[in-house]
Structure 1
Amino acid sequence: MKRILFPTDFSDTATNAFIHALEFANKVNGELILLHTFNLPIYDNQFFPENYAIIYESMELAQFEMFKREIPKLRAIAEERKLDKIRLSHRLMDGDLLPNIKKSIKVDKIDFVVMGTAGSTGWEAFFLGTNTGMVITGIDVPMLCVPQEAKFEKIEIIGFTTRFRPKDKKALKLVLKIAKKSNAKVKCLYVKTIKSDVELTTIASWETEFAAEPIDFYIVEDENVESVILDFIMYKEVDILTMLTYKRGFFEGLFSPSLTKKIAINNEIPILAIPIE
């Protein structure tokens, strides 16, 4: 059984992402571990309050009470979607979000993370500086990132961007497993530019190797990689876009503000980010 970590602040954005987490868990035969973090007040060492322990305990109790109040609401959502048999467990941790997520990934042996993201600039904020952006570049397990406006729809098409590197193949095989459980098709995109170094024989070998799989390959020659990907999402009716996180700079270069605005207005879809070593 796959173990899926779901960090939540119980906001509307997180609640929307929870629906995606439930449906994802249902497809991959997984269980959900809900993580809520909180920060204690920071004090100057010279003015450290004598009752700090009491402050800590009162804040922890307040967070715990909120946790108890919110969990039944999530269970009600699961019951409404007839997914209440999915196992839910909980973690309440103090401290910063990213270290706590990393700790939970290690301690709880997490396979996937599902997290909501919000921001007036859509994907730009998502990749450049939000909590989700920090997490996506800081963990070593696949992460399903759910924009605020991405309402759950049946997954029929999964987009997969690649540069046909040997290491990409492992990620593609993972995506194909998810696609088969969802009865979905994978559409694989490679944008060939003047600087591209992929041989035609490499592309042909991939097409041969995956010929029996539910996958189509698309090779587009264009210097504007960003625009091609955005058009690909739109015209191929992609429900989830898979992207490989080689390094943070790849995302920063991929999503400029103007293009982000276009996709935020027209096409809010989840992203499955898969780290590549």
Structure 2
Amino acid sequence: MKKILFPTDFSEVANNAFIHALEFAKIVNGELVLLHTFELPIIDNQFIPENYYNILDSLQLAQYDMFKDQIPKLRELAQKQHLENIKLNHKIMEGDLIYSIKRAIKEEKIDFVIMGTSGATGWESFFIGSNTGAVVTAVDVPVLSVPVESEFAKIKTIGFTTRFRDKDKSALRQVLKIAKKAHAEVKCLYVKTSKSDVSEETINQWKNEFGNEAVDFIVMNTDLVKETILDFVSHKNIDILAMITHKRNFFSELFNPSLTQKMSNVSIVPILAMHEE
């Protein structure tokens, strides 16, 4: 059984992502580990008030009480989705979010992280210095980011971008496993620019190697890489876009509001950020 870490602050953004997390858990036969983190105030040693430790205790208790109160609401959400059978575990940790997530991944042997994002486009906050963006670069498991605008719909098509490098194959195989369980197809996009050094022989070798899989390889000849990927998401009805995080600044450029706002047809879909092996 796969283990999925779901960090939450119980906001609307997180609750929307929780529905995606439940559905994803159903697809991969997984269980959810709900993680809530909090940070206690730092006080200069020279000015510690007499009742400092009492204050800390009451702040910790308040966090635990809030956590305890929110869990039934999440169970109610699961029930509405008819996914009350998905196993839920709970974890509350004091400390920095990134540190806590990394620790939880190690302690719980986590396979995936799923987080909600919000911002000018939903994608913007994910890739430009947000908590989610920081998590992507800090952990070594796939991270599914869910923009608040993205309502869950049955996953029929998963997009995957590649540059036909050998090290992209393991990520594609992982995507194909998810697609198989979701009864979905995979559309694999390569944007072939004027500087591309990928040969037709390499492309054909990939097509032969994955010939028995439900994957469609699409090669687009253009130098407009970012625009082509966004166009691909919209025109091919992509429900989740899987991308390898080999170059994070590329993500920042790709999902920059100045670019996405120019393209009225851009679909805001969850992004599955995968790591190079």
TM-score, normalised to structure 1's length? 0.96
**3-state SS in 2 of match to 1:31:** strand
Q: How does 1:64-103 map to 2 (within 5 A)?
A: 64-103=64-103
Q: Secondary structure at the match of 2:138?
A: coil
Identity %: 60
CA distance in 2, matches of 1:53, 1:195: 62
Equivalent in the alignment of 1:184: 184
Equivalent in the alignment of 1:48 = 48
1:104 and 2:127 matched: no
Counterparts of 1:175-214 in structure 2, within 5 Å, are 175-214=175-214
Whether the aligned pair in 2 keeps the contact of 1:245 and 1:273 (CA below 8 Å) is: yes
Structure 2 unaligned spans of 5+ = none
Q: 1:272 is matched with which residue?
A: 272
Partner Cα separation in structure 2 for residue 251 and residue 138 of structure 1: 15
| Gap change, CA 1:262 and 1:101, over 3 Å in 2 | farther
Alpha-carbon distance change, 264 to 28 in structure 1, aligned in 2, over 3 angstroms: farther
Q: Find the aligned partners of 2:132 and 2:261 in 1 and give their Cα distance.
A: 18
From the superposition, tell whether residues 140 and 79 of structure 1 become closer, same or farther in structure 2 (CA, over 3 Å).
same
Which position in structure 1 is the counterpart of 2:122? 122
Q: TM-score, normalised to structure 2's length?
A: 0.96
Once the two structures are superposed, residues 8-47 of structure 1 have per-residue CA deviations (whole angstroms, 9 ceiling, x without a partner) of 0000010000000000000000000000011111222321
Tell me which moved more, 70-79 or 118-127.
118-127
Matching residue of 1:245: 245
> Paired residue for 1:26?
26
Shift of 1:263: 6.5
Partner of 2:152: 152
Aligned residue identity for 1:84: E
The answer to whether the 8 A contact 1:102-1:139 is kept is: yes
* 1:144 and 1:270 in contact (8 A); partners too: yes
Q: Post-superposition shift, 1:77?
A: 1.2
What SS does the corresponding residue of 1:230 show, helix, strand or coil? helix
Change (3 A) 1:104 1:13: same
SS in structure 2 at match of 1:181? helix
1: CA distance, partners of 2:76 / 2:253: 41
RMSD between superposed Cα atoms in Å: 1.4
Q: Distance in 1 between matches of 2:86 and 2:133?
A: 28
Classify the secondary structure of the residue corresponding to 1:146.
Answer: strand
